[in-house]
């Protein structure tokens, strides 16, 4: 069986929530890395899933220092999203965060 890996990226995320991806089936998120690219300000970031009604936070107000990064999934951890779930990120500092998301989209034969 082959696995369909996908990547989703967002550049210069700031104070307006950015949509990283919308699940089109039961997908498995295997990596989320957020890097602070701002020249002089530490950032506080929220990463959350909206299921169409509610926001469910994976992390809230997490500090990311200038030039630093935050890996939300490590040690083999992962989480499953369902059709229509939307993964979003927002920062308290304008144009401060780059985000990389790795997903297993489907398993095919």
Between these two residues, 109 and 98, which has the higher pLDDT value?
98
DSSP state letters, 40-62? S--EEEEEEEE-SS-EEEEEEEE
Average pLDDT, integer, range 89-104: 97
pLDDT single digits (tens) 21-40: 999 989 999 999 999 999 99
The pLDDT mean for the chain works out to 93
* Sign of the CA dihedral with 96 first, then 17, 11, and 33 last: positive
**CA torsion angle 15 7 101 92 (round to 10):** -10
pTM: 0.92
Structural domain that includes position 20 = 2-108
CATH number for position 28: 2.60.120.340
Between these two residues, 64 and 107, which has the higher pLDDT value?
64
Number of domains in the chain: 1
């Amino acid at each position: 069986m082959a696995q369909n890996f996908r990547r989703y990226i967002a550049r210069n995320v700031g104070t307006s929530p950015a949509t990283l991806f919308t699940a089109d089936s039961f997908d498995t998120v295997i990596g989320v890395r957020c890097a602070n690219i701002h020249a002089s300000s530490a950032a506080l970031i929220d990463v959350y899933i909206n299921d169409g009604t509610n926001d469910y936070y994976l992390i809230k107000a997490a500090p990311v220092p200038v030039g630093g990064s935050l890996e939300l999934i490590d040690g083999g951890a992962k989480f499953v999203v369902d059709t229509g779930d939307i993964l979003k990120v927002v920062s308290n500092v304008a144009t401060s965060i780059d985000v990389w998301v790795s997903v297993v989209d489907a398993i095919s034969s």
